[in-house]
Structures are given as structure tokens and as C-alpha cells.
Amino acid sequence: MIIAANLKTNLTRKQTEIYVNELEDYVSKHTISQEVLVFPAASSLNPHAGKVIIGAQNAYATHNGAFTGEIGLDHLEEFSIKTILIGHSERRHVLGETQEALVKKFNFYKDLGFKIVYCVGEPLEMREAGKETMMEYISSQYEGIDTSYENLIIAYEPVWAIGTGLIPTLENIEEIHTDLKEKSIAPLLYGGSVKVTNAKEVLALRNVDGILVGSAALYSEHFCSMIQYAEDLN
């Protein structure tokens, strides 16, 4: 399974280094065979050798250039980063990234062979509009994306479940994941208010291949517990 931590705009470089080392210690001491990914803030990237894979939360579709506030491939290469998160709801809905811009970014990093964690998920009004409308909305987030890309991982993250403590029912997660698996056979993660208290049940669901965790992953011991759940389930 794939257990991923999106650290968002948290943890400084120093804190991230300590955090990643704690995970690395856990993973090696407990001979964890799961894939563990960590997405630190851009200024907290560091070179890292070990089992834990470090990815970028974002980068522009460029090697370098005049894109104020963005980082590009050159900056990722400095730290040997070959994994990137694309389409996170905060980038779509807070920072206004369009599907067109995401597709451009996806293709740029795909052509470079990056492991891409591509996020999809509906806002509350789409969920409330009924299943058909909701699935149409999620389908539109697959437009232009090469769903058969070999290094693709998809994360289903309902926007209303992110950082709210709300989570769909287990039956609902399984149902949506089963539908989404028809669009792509890529590993499919669930994200949105995953905590130590619900991770085990979510990981045990059919068609859930892992989790993408935000706030609860900021505590390394909590995140390690979730890694252990996945290991035990395997």
C-alpha cells in the first residue's frame, strides 16, 4: 500500500528533517514494506536517502524561468526529487489552478518520468447535487490526464472532508473508489480527515490502495501508526 503525508504549509526545514528521520527509523526498524511518501513544503526540501520517498507539493511546468513564486524542475533536481503532487484541492480551489494548467503540469512531469500523485474530489455542493452530477464533476478532473501512465497514483479527496474532521461513510468510500477504478487501474488513495482512529478501517476497504494524510500526519507517531496498520493488513 501507499501511505502518504501531505505536510502542506507546515514544518520548517529543520522540523521536516527531524520528522523524516523519525519515519525512516520506524520504517527500517519495523521492516515496513509499504511505500511511504512525504510531501514537505518547498522550502523544507532536503536531499534524502532511504526508504521514505520525498515528493514536491507543487512545481511549475518549467525547468526555470520568470514565474515569480514558483519552483521548477531545476529546484527539484537539486534534491533528486522525482515525485510530485498535482491537482490537490487547495491548489484547484484556493489557488485557482485550472484543469488546463494541471494537464500541462501533468504532461511536463510525466514526460520526465515523475511519480505523480494526482488528486481528484468534489466540493460539498457537487456531492449534494446527487451521485450523477458528482461523478460527472470528478470525471471532468480526469480530462486530459493519461490515466494509463505507469507512474500514476490517484488520490480521491472529497474537498468537504479535507481538514474538517468529516469523512464519507466507509461504504461510500468503497463505492466511489470502485467507480473510479473503472477510469484507471492506477493505485487509488483516499484522503480527507484520515486519522489514527479511522485509518485502519479505510485501509481495509476494497479498492483503497492507500491513504493521503494531512493534519494527522504532522505527528510522526500517528503517521507511523498508520504505516503499521497498512503493514499489518498486508
Q: Which residues are catalytic?
A: 88, 157
Residues contacting residue 12 through CB under 8 Å, at least 6 positions apart: 43, 44
The answer to whether residue 84 forms part of the interface with ligand 13P (CB under 6 A) is no
CB closer to ligand 13P out of 108 and 223? 223
Among 62, 207, 215, 225, which residue interacts with ligand 13P (rule: CB under 6 A)?
215
Shortest distance (Å) from residue 74 CB to ligand 13P: 25
Q: Which residue is nearest to ligand 13P (CB)?
A: 214
Distance CA 102, CA 193 (A): 24
* Pairing of β 188-191 and β 152-156: parallel
Among 71, 86, 116, 162, which residue interacts with ligand 13P (rule: CB under 6 A)?
162
Return the SS3 of 224: helix
Q: Which helix (H) or strand (E) holds 176?
A: helix 170-180
The answer to whether residue 6 forms part of the interface with ligand 13P (CB under 6 A) is yes
Among 40, 55, 192, 210, which residue interacts with ligand 13P (rule: CB under 6 A)?
192
Distance CA 48, CA 34 (A): 18
Among the candidate windows 20-28, 93-101, 136-144, 213-221, which touches ligand 13P by CB under 6 A?
A: 213-221
Q: Which of 115, 127, 123 is nearest to 189 (CA)?
A: 115
The answer to whether residue 122 forms part of the interface with ligand 13P (CB under 6 A) is no
Q: Give the HSE-up count for residue 118: Cα atoms under 13 Å, Cβ half-sphere.
A: 31
Among the candidate windows 75-83, 106-114, 122-130, 210-218, which touches ligand 13P by CB under 6 A?
A: 210-218
Residue 163's φ and ψ, nearest 5 degrees, are: 70, 15
Among the candidate windows 27-35, 43-51, 157-165, 199-207, which touches ligand 13P by CB under 6 A?
A: 157-165
Residue 150 per-residue DSSP state: T
The answer to whether residue 157 forms part of the interface with ligand 13P (CB under 6 A) is yes
Residue 91 per-residue DSSP state: I
Among the candidate windows 21-29, 139-147, 206-214, 221-229, which touches ligand 13P by CB under 6 A?
A: 206-214
Kindly state the number of chain residues that form the binding site for ligand 13P, as judged by CB under 6 A: 14
Are the CB atoms for 226 and 197 separated by under 8 Å?
no
Contacts with ligand 13P by CB under 6 A lie at: 6, 88, 157, 162-163, 191-194, 212-216
